């Protein structure tokens, strides 16, 4: 009898605690608000791999695009890779100027490789000697300047942290080229280290906005471990935003069952990811970590249109910069950031706080974002005759071209839709944006 009552009370308590911990959709929307509105972030990929920069000492070239993978791709014994640390001395590193440029470019958050798969800590840590502070002649903290500048310029801070570790003796499965580890790996012991590092990041650089995990695909990274890590981060960081790579990949989509958003890498999903939050992370060339032999730079127009494409499908765009070993930002990256700054200065209203556009198919002339009753028409290809008919049954209240106060946009209702008559103006090579205020929520005329 007494046991029975104890059990009932215990069960009731468990239900109440569960209900108190579970987040309502409205609470989740509130927690995700800054991220939903931001739309644009900066990824900084920086580590020892910037020294070989794609080409190892013996002349071998990293065969895959990703220069940060050179140790794995060329099976460099870790004891040799580790010697790179003695050459780390980035005389030209200027984190404040990078963050200032990012802020001017319109980026609202920073993701920085505090620890990549190579296991090297790019921040000051007590949990290991294998860090930029303790193992390099530079002996300074690569994250401190970025974190301070991010706070100063109002960018949210979201450290990148790889679960995978090619160096740690307890990471399981051990990298075949890890010749420095002895004994048996113990993933639970590794997780004590990992959690200690995450705690240091929050305590010494925070408050953080969340964690951007990577390296989640080994068979040992189980659903249960993912859930445990997810819960740990949410206890550590109030209101944390966590990407889906905290858990194992699932159903061919990376970790879709966990975390707050999906993370398509180097691609933008053709139709967005309906029903999910997502963020495309993208390189400016084809590598994340700097490599001297990657000259395949995307031009700024392409990159700006990628940001627009993501926003028009309801997603975020996380754009990467890979500083050199000297700490310099490659020229084409600086150029792109400047072009973003110029475009965003005029057109930011068409990006921040917007949702996906209303049309099921992407228009032939460009992309559409939406904010309430306002549509932003990002025109890539301006119609030669100046006529654009939108398949909407709405009328319009107002229309203007962002950054062109003198230009007139006329509109009228037609049986086939809402017709715009556009002026002849100097066009923006990336996108010229028309702000169209409708008489209510967009109402589609179904395609015949």
Token digits for 110?
Answer: 């920073």
| Min separation Cβ 113 and ligand H79, Å | 7
| Min separation Cβ 110 and ligand H79, Å | 14
- Beta-carbon-side half-sphere exposure of residue 301 (alpha carbons within 13 Å): 10
* Cα–Cα nearest to 431, from 379, 376, 375: 379
Comparing every residue's Cβ against ligand H79, the nearest one is: 64
Near ligand H79 in 186-245, by CB under 6 A:
214
Taking CB under 6 A as the criterion, the residue among 42, 98, 122, 281 binding ligand H79 is 281
* Cα–Cα nearest to 364, from 344, 340, 390: 390
Q: Which is nearer to ligand H79, 35 or 288 (CB)?
A: 288
Taking CB under 6 A as the criterion, the residue among 68, 172, 260, 279 binding ligand H79 is 68
Give, as one character, the DSSP assignment of residue 133.
T
Token digits for 264?
Answer: 């398509």
* Cα–Cα nearest to 371, from 392, 391, 390, 356: 356
Evaluate the omega torsion of the peptide bond into residue 173 and state whether it is cis, within 30 degrees of 0. yes
**Contact track, ligand H79, 22-61, x by CB under 6 A:** -----------------------x----------------
| Min separation Cβ 243 and ligand H79, Å | 10
Residue 288 engages ligand H79 in binding (rule: CB under 6 A): yes
Q: Which is nearer to ligand H79, 69 or 120 (CB)?
A: 69
Residue 176 engages ligand H79 in binding (rule: CB under 6 A): no
Q: Which is nearer to ligand H79, 133 or 281 (CB)?
A: 281
Taking CB under 6 A as the criterion, the residue among 9, 11, 37, 64 binding ligand H79 is 64
* Cα–Cα nearest to 42, from 268, 284, 278, 228: 284
* Cα–Cα nearest to 440, from 391, 378, 393: 393
| Min separation Cβ 167 and ligand H79, Å | 16
* Angle, in degrees to the nearest 10, between helices 223-236 and 187-205: 20
Residues in the site for ligand H79, rule: CB under 6 A? 45, 64, 66, 68-69, 214, 265, 281, 288
């Amino acid at each position: 009898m007494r046991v029975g009552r104890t059990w009932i009370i215990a069960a009731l308590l468990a239900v109440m605690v569960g209900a108190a911990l579970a987040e309502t959709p409205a609470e989740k929307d509130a927690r995700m608000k800054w991220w939903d509105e931001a739309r644009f972030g900066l990824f900084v990929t920086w580590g020892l791999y910037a020294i070989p920069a794609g080409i190892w000492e013996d002349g071998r070239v990293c065969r895959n695009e990703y220069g940060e993978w050179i140790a794995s791709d060329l099976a460099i014994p870790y004891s040799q890779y580790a010697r790179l640390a003695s050459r780390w001395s980035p005389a030209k590193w200027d984190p404040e100027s990078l963050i200032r440029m990012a802020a001017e470019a319109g980026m609202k958050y920073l993701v920085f490789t505090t620890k990549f798969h190579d296991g090297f800590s790019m921040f000051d840590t007590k949990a290991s000697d294998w860090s930029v502070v303790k193992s390099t002649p530079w002996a300074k903290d690569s994250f401190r300047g970025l974190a301070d500048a991010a706070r100063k310029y109002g960018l949210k801070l979201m450290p990148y942290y790889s679960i995978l570790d090619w160096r740690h003796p307890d990471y399981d499965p051990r990298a075949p080229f890890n010749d420095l580890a002895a004994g048996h790996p113990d993933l639970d012991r590794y997780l004590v280290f990992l959690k200690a590092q995450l705690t240091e990041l929050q305590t010494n650089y925070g408050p953080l906005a969340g964690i951007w995990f990577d390296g989640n695909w080994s068979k040992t990274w189980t659903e249960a471990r993912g859930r445990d890590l997810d819960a740990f981060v949410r206890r550590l960081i109030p209101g944390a935003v966590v990407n889906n790579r905290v858990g194992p990949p699932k159903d061919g989509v990376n970790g879709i069952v966990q975390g707050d958003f999906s993370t398509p890498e180097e691609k933008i999903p053709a139709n967005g990811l309906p029903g999910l939050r997502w963020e495309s992370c993208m390189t400016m060339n084809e590598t994340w970590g700097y490599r001297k032999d990657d000259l395949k730079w995307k031009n700024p127009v392409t990159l700006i249109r990628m940001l627009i494409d993501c926003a028009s499908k309801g997603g975020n765009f996380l754009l990467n910069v890979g500083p050199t070993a000297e700490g310099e930002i490659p020229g084409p990256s600086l150029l792109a950031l400047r072009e973003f700054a110029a475009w965003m200065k005029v057109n930011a209203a068409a990006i921040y706080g917007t949702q996906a556009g209303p049309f099921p198919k992407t228009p032939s002339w460009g992309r559409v974002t939406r904010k309430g009753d306002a549509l932003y028409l990002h025109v890539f290809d301006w119609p030669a005759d100046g006529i654009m008919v939108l398949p909407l049954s709405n009328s319009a209240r107002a229309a203007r071209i962002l950054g062109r106060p003198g230009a007139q946009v006329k509109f009228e209702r037609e049986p086939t839709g809402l017709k715009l008559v556009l002026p002849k103006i100097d066009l923006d090579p990336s996108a010229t944006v028309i702000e169209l205020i409708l008489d209510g929520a967009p109402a589609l005329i179904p395609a015949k």
